Amino acid sequence: MPLEIELTDKVAVVTGAGSGIGRGAALAFARAGLRVVVADIDLSAAEEVAAAARGLGVAASGVGCDVASLESFVSLRDAVMDRFGRVDVVMNNAGVILSGLPEQIPLSEWERVLNVNLMSIVRSNHVFLPLLLQQGSGHIVNTASFAGLYTYSFDRLPYAASKAAVVQISEGLALYLRPRGIGVTCLCPGPVRTNIMKSNRAWSTGLDIRGPGPEFRMLEPDEVGEMVVDAVRRNVFFLPTDSAVTAKLIDRATDWEGFLQRQIQEPHIIVKGSQ
């Protein structure tokens, strides 16, 4: 694949794009000259972002999409193909979160989080990957998390497990798709100012909210969106929102026992006993 990919007039589909990172990415794609399909379970939010993208001078559509439904993905694909006749970038970004002690999280919540955060990517691949393979070009962006790279909290295990699985799926897809002309980017955000906590369901009280570390500053979604566009343009696989996370990963790989003990003894507390 070329070192830099021309993105003007390409077509990008972004799920969970009604707010947060998805919104930031959709508008960044629009600024880069891509036509954009904004997909979100909240149709009014999707249409608002699509209108903002059109204000940047590109064609854009807002589509309601429940990523927990295969039928909804089929409808999304059909809407994209009816409007634009092709798809070049698929960003799987929708996600939900919860909090609770491991023994207090219901099995149904594990199923909910894995269904949205992980199986949504499986559904997306089912409907969009054949199109990309047929045309022999394109790019997939999967949103994982620092929480999928190393563990800094114990109250969000379904979320962390789902995001670790996203990392593995993304890497396997890259092995398969790069030789076939299709790029893959695994976006791993650290702290970003989004509204994902609106989806949070708390199953325990009095828990400290732990973060990935004091060295990571809070980013705005628009900043992350620009990072995504640059990664797609340059066909970059691993996209952490802060390169300092590499030192954390090296520390864990070098001395996993010591790393775990330090996380126990020196947790980074964002909010004390908030729930």
Q: Is the pLDDT of residue 63 over 60?
A: yes
Q: What is the pLDDT of residues 104-152, one digit of tens each?
A: 999 999 999 999 999 999 999 999 999 999 999 999 999 999 999 999 9
The enclosing H or E element of 246 equals helix 245-254
SS3 101: coil
Q: What is the pLDDT of residues 214-235, one digit of tens each?
A: 999 999 999 999 999 999 999 9
Amino acid 135 reads Q
pTM of the model: 0.95
Distance between CA atoms of residues 90 and 198, nearest Å: 24
User: Whole-number mean pLDDT of the chain?
Assistant: 94
Q: Is the pLDDT of residue 274 over 60?
A: no
Output 33 or 1, whichever has higher pLDDT. 33
Which of 3.40.630.30, 3.30.420.40, 3.40.50.720, 3.40.50.280 would CATH assign to domain 11-271? Answer: 3.40.50.720
- Per the CB < 8 A criterion, the answer to whether 210 and 147 are in contact is no
Task: Return the active site residues.
Answer: 159
- β-partners of residue 188 are 240
Neighbours of 14 (CB within 10 A): 33
Neighbours of 95 (CB within 10 A): 26
Distance between CA atoms of residues 151 and 238, nearest Å: 18
Give Cα separations from 15 to 78, 111, 260 (angstroms). Answer: 15, 20, 34
C-alpha distance across the termini of the chain, in Å? 49
Q: What is the pLDDT of residues 163-218, one digit of tens each?
A: 999 999 999 999 999 999 999 999 999 999 987 666 677 778 878 888 999 999 99
3-state DSSP percent of the chain in helix, strand and coil, to 5: 50, 15, 35
Nearest by Cα to 150 from 215, 212, 239: 212
